[in-house]
Amino acid sequence: MTNKQMVLESAAYLQKILPAAPEIGLVLGSGLGPLAEELTDAARIPYEKIPHFKSSTAPDHAGQLVCGELAGRRVLCMQGRLHGYEGYAPDEIAYPVYVMKALGVRALILTNASGGINTAFSVGDFMLIEDHINMTGKSPLTGPNDSWLGTRFPDMTFAYAPSLREKADTAAQDCGLTLRHGVYCGVNGPQFETPAEIRMFRALGADAVGMSTVFEVIAAAHCGLPTAAIAMITNMAAGVLMQPLSGAEVNEIAARRGAAFRRLITTLVGKI
């Protein structure tokens, strides 16, 4: 379980290396890593060098923190995140969120690749996450609670901060991009869902499904870090189009829509 001492040790290590205190945290999902290359005056720190950080094994996830400037803001960027399907525990996946908070980050932006459940969506769409359904059956807060991190029973009503959601809508307008809104369903993976599972998630009110994000958002709510999350719909979820899904398709769409996504996130960062 995460505790104050671990977080302070990680933060102290990073404070010695980083050129300046970061203002905004950014987590880059599948295929979105190239945004980290756009940071100027960047310092790069591999996760394995940071005390208490786990390193990422997912393909195309670089596994490093990149700290630099983007849109006039000092940004701490996770180039690659950890997933439950890699074998990491929920608290390990969520851990960097607490370190960002300890470093003084005042807003967190999460990105991910998702399957579209809402049949009005198309591949390549962007969806602002308004809320989530955690179908993993797990929480990063299981176990003893260190009250220095946050309260035992955190409120999730405004976990996706309304003020940041407004800014995301404005950023999309400024970029001339359509930003869908919806509920994200978080699953463990690594297998994609069955068509019956997707029908169930739709009946429960989900618009998109993915294998990340929910643990990080729970940790951010726990430690009081305002958060926004935007999904890229890289494929329609299983059964929507009655064709097989593949990780290659996810990566291909993520690459094709990457430039527009990076523009959207950069514009959002400039508004925070």
Which residues of the chain form contacts with ligand HPA (CB under 6 A)? 113-115, 192-193, 209-211, 234-235, 237, 245, 250
- What is the rounded (10 degree) CA torsion for 118, 123, 129, 130? -30
Residue 219 C-beta: closest distance to ligand HPA, Å: 20
- What is the rounded (10 degree) CA torsion for 41, 265, 51, 102? 100
Residue whose entry in the numeric block shows the structure tokens 């060098």: 49
- What is the rounded (10 degree) CA torsion for 203, 205, 208, 212? -110
Residue 123 C-beta: closest distance to ligand HPA, Å: 10
Which amino acid belongs to residue 168?
A
By Cβ distance, which residue is nearest to ligand HPA? 115
Measured from the CB atom, the residue of 67 and 206 that comes closer to ligand HPA is 206
Which amino acid belongs to residue 68?
G
Residue whose entry in the numeric block shows the structure tokens 């579209």: 116
Distance of alpha carbon 167 from alpha carbon 181, whole angstroms: 13
Residue 244 C-beta: closest distance to ligand HPA, Å: 11
Measured from the CB atom, the residue of 99 and 123 that comes closer to ligand HPA is 123
Which amino acid belongs to residue 107?
A
Measured from the CB atom, the residue of 25 and 115 that comes closer to ligand HPA is 115
Decide if 114 contacts 184 (C-beta within 8 A). yes
Measured from the CB atom, the residue of 209 and 264 that comes closer to ligand HPA is 209
Measured from the CB atom, the residue of 56 and 234 that comes closer to ligand HPA is 234
Supply the DSSP symbol for 159. S
Measured from the CB atom, the residue of 50 and 209 that comes closer to ligand HPA is 209
Residue 210 C-beta: closest distance to ligand HPA, Å: 4
Tokens representing 10? 């990680």
Please report, for residues 43, 189, 231, the alpha-carbon distance to residue 56 in angstroms, rounded to integers and kept in the order given: 19, 16, 20
Measured from the CB atom, the residue of 134 and 235 that comes closer to ligand HPA is 235
Residue 252 C-beta: closest distance to ligand HPA, Å: 12
Residue 144 C-beta: closest distance to ligand HPA, Å: 31
> C-alpha angle 214/269/11, rounded to 5°?
65
Please count the residues of the chain: 272
